[in-house]
Amino acid sequence: MNLPPSAKLGIIVDTSEAGAHVWMKKGLCRDLDPELFFPSDGAGVIKAKKVCKKCKVVENCLEYALANRVDHGVWGGASERERRRILKKRKTEVAEVLTVVSNSDDY
Ligand code: SF4
């Protein structure tokens, strides 16, 4: 199963609104123009992702955007399209695990 890197390390990422208030304060984008993270073209996405790549809360940010189905902008170093792909992949993986579990005699 393709777990987020944080989960592989046993770190639980708080994806709640309350949790977001904590990690968002550490975001590298905090003092930048928010428009940078809502680009209108591919070049803008690349530019935003370069900032995210250096951000210490990139995993929190990505998991928050995924959990809260944030549709617009670059979050956690991922574009809207990339986040949709991640969600689709995770959904497929969960379905595969559930199939294995339901076909197992142990359960
Ligand atoms: S990962 Fe990117 S969008 Fe998220 S807090 Fe960091 S700089 Fe901001």
**Residue 107 banded pLDDT, cuts 50, 70, 90:** low
Residue 106 predicted with pLDDT over 80: no
Tell me the C-alpha distance between 73 and 28, whole Å. 15
**Average of per-residue pLDDT across 35-39:** 97
Tell me the C-alpha distance between 82 and 48, whole Å. 14
- Closest approach atom of ligand 1 to CA 73: 3
Residue 95 predicted with pLDDT over 70: yes
Alpha carbon separation from 53 to 8, 18, 27, 68, 94 (Å, rounded): 19, 24, 11, 21, 28
- Closest approach atom of ligand 1 to CA 23: 5
Beta bridge partners of 75: 78
Best residue among 14, 58, 70, 79 to mutate for probing ligand 1's pocket (most ligand atoms within 8 Å of CB) is 58
Residue 80 predicted with pLDDT over 50: yes
Tell me the C-alpha distance between 47 and 6, whole Å. 24
Measuring from atom 5 of ligand 1, which residue has the nearest CA? Answer: 27
Q: Which tens digits make up the pLDDT trace of 5-33?
A: 555 555 567 778 887 888 999 999 999 99
